[in-house]
Chain A
Amino acid sequence: EPEVTQTPSHQVTQMGQEVILRCVPISNHLYFYWYRQILGQKVEFLVSFYNNEISEKSEIFDDQFSVERPDGSNFTLKIRSTKLEDSAMYFCASGGTTETQYFGPGTRLLVL
C-alpha cells in the first residue's frame, strides 16, 4: 500500500537555525499539506500546495515558513529561523481527487 514518507524522523536544532523537513507524498496525489502538532495539543493546519503553488495557508504559516516541490517527488517545508515555539511534530499529508488526506509518520522537531 503506498504511503507518505518523511525525513528525518527527528531533528534537533539551535534557535535561529534553518531547518528543512522533507516529504515524499503518495505518487499519484496532487494535493500536498503540512500540519503540525505541538506536544499535548491538537493537529493544526499550516499550508496546502497544489499545481506548484500554495493554495491555502494558516496564520501560523508566516514569513519564516516556505514550501517547495523541487522535483517530481519531494515536498519540503523550510523554517528559516527557528524559534523555541516551533518545537512540534510536523506531519506531511497528501491527497488525490477526494478530500481524504493521508499522513506521513512525522518529523519531531526540537528547537533548543
Chain B
Amino acid sequence: RKEVEQDPGPFNVPEGATVAFNCTYSNSASQSFFWYRQDCRKEPKLLMSVYSSGNEDGRFTAQLNRASQYISLLIRDSKLSDSATYLCVVNLKDTGRRALTFGSGTRLQVQP
C-alpha cells in the first residue's frame, strides 16, 4: 500500500461547483497532516493544516478521520483560480522525523 494515496483525477468541474478530494495514508502513527496546492511547474504552497477536529478556511474545509486513516478536502464555490494539483501530505512527527511524505496529487480543473 502506498504511504499516501490520492485519486489522480483530473476533476473537471464548472465554476461555482463544490468538489471534494480524498486521501488515505498507510501509517497509523502519522501525526501531522496538510493540504498543499501545486501549480504547474511551481513549488508546493501550503493550503491548510488538517486537525483532528476538522478545520475551515474560507471556502476550504479539511477533515481528518484517524480511525480510517483518511483525510479530505472540500472546496466550495470553485473559482477558475482553484485549478491546480492538490497534494495530500503527512508528517510522522512522533519519532522526531519532520520529513514530509507527499501523495501524487489530485488535479483539479475548474471550467468557466
Contact = CB atoms under 8 A, between A and B. Distances in A.
Contacts of B96: 55
Contacts of A41: 104
Chain B interface category by residue count: 20 to 34
B55 interface: no
Nearest to A44: B102
B45 interface: yes
Given A91-B43, A99-B91, A100-B46, A42 B105 contact: yes
Contacts, number: 53
- Which among A48, A95, A103, A104 has the greatest number of chain B C-beta atoms within 10 A? A103
Contacts of A43: 44, 87, 100, 102
A103 B98 contact: no
A18 B91 CA distance: 31
Contacts of A42: 87, 102-105
Nearest to B32: A99
Interface of A is mostly: strand
B60 to A, nearest CB: 16
Interface of B: 32, 34, 41-46, 49, 87, 91, 93, 96-105
Interface of A: 31, 33, 35, 41-45, 48, 55-56, 58, 89, 91, 95, 99-106, 108
9 contacts: A35-B100, A56-B97, A91-B43, A99-B32, A99-B93, A99-B98, A103-B43, A103-B45, A106-B43
